[in-house]
Structure 1
């Protein structure tokens, strides 16, 4: 009978231990739920460098980032069009983001990285000096910039506390000045 009593006490302790563990795990799950609610207020961005400045674009419009082997120049295009690249048999126009934004003479990198952006039927690459990576930014951390006379302000959603400029990828994709639709000579 004494053995049964000890077994009973041991089982009760085990039940109490399991109950405490279950409560602790339940608290951890509810903490994760509140973290998921917070994640609705933040988004992932691809970060890249143009000269000394760090910029980013939301990942929802970024198809891919890469460092192309070769960018083939296309004649009779504006100076901010570097040319085209082939990615798995698909041709992508490449825009020198520095020249397009009027930041300086062009990219510093000898082998620039490209950020392939796409939305609907508009798609092209933005050439950048360096691709840094992907990070998450809270929407509340993005502060708006005062409007300016420079071209960057047309494409800027804001700036983060650590001075990273958040660009509006949709503004690039819907900008008709990036579309080259010219014919040179006659077609016979």
Structure 2
């Protein structure tokens, strides 16, 4: 007689049988949810790897985000607060009578920006432009200046207080542009100094009437 038949017949409930049935059902559900041996080992191995992985290194005190790029095989950086964007160089308009370090004028979405090649100032050898060449556009409220870069490495971090004095370089015409060098050889440029240097400003009369 089933439990339902016993109830309809008015027979007392067999609590012991009911408990046994519930226990068997719980055991069956647990067995179904239990992973197989291979799955269990894989889960344990994944958990062990996660626990064994070293924690991320703490960010050094005073670390500042910088954009790292290359000029003539050497690595330079600018603090990101002076960098507006990195762009592929469009066709540059040559400026008649402009100094040799002025590569030209770029039209960046309708905004005309002077493009400066600071290799000579930094003592970096010239490198022919290729598909890796980029413009590092500087400015606060607007794009004020763009530097030619042979290649952009991406974002990095450095601690300005840990910078070493830049080694003397006879070919470096503007040593004041270099704030210092990290132990790994990354030279930090002084972005604000570049932006306020009047020698890098091209006179308006020399600008062409149209840039494409």
TM-score (normalised: structure 1): 0.69
Query: What is the CA–CA distance in structure 2 between the aligned matches of 1:167 and 1:77, rounded to whole Å?
Result: 24
Identify which range, 128-137 or 142-151, moves more after superposition. 142-151
Q: Does 1:64 align with 2:85?
A: yes
TM-score (normalised: structure 2): 0.62
Q: What is the CA distance between 1:80 and its match in structure 2? A: 0.7
Identify, as 1 or 2, the structure richer in strand. 1
Gaps of 5+ in 2: 1-54, 207-212
Kindly name which structure, 1 or 2, has the bigger radius of gyration based on alpha carbons: 2
Gaps of 5+ in 1: 1-30
Which contiguous aligned blocks of 4+ residues in structure 1 show a shift greater than 6 angstroms? none
Whether the aligned pair in 2 keeps the contact of 1:42 and 1:136 (CA below 8 Å) is: yes
Query: What is the CA–CA distance in structure 2 between the aligned matches of 1:114 and 1:65, rounded to whole Å?
Result: 6
Query: What is the CA–CA distance in structure 2 between the aligned matches of 1:67 and 1:107, rounded to whole Å?
Result: 16
Q: What is the CA distance between 1:144 and its match in structure 2? A: 2.2
Check 1:75–1:86 CA distance in 2 against 1; reply closer, same or farther (3 A cut).
same
Whether the aligned pair in 2 keeps the contact of 1:97 and 1:126 (CA below 8 Å) is: yes
SS at 1:103's partner residue?
Answer: coil
Query: What is the CA–CA distance in structure 1 between the aligned matches of 2:135 and 2:196, rounded to whole Å?
Result: 19
Whether the aligned pair in 2 keeps the contact of 1:45 and 1:135 (CA below 8 Å) is: yes
Query: What is the CA–CA distance in structure 1 between the aligned matches of 2:169 and 2:72, rounded to whole Å?
Result: 20
Q: Does 1:55 align with 2:85?
A: no
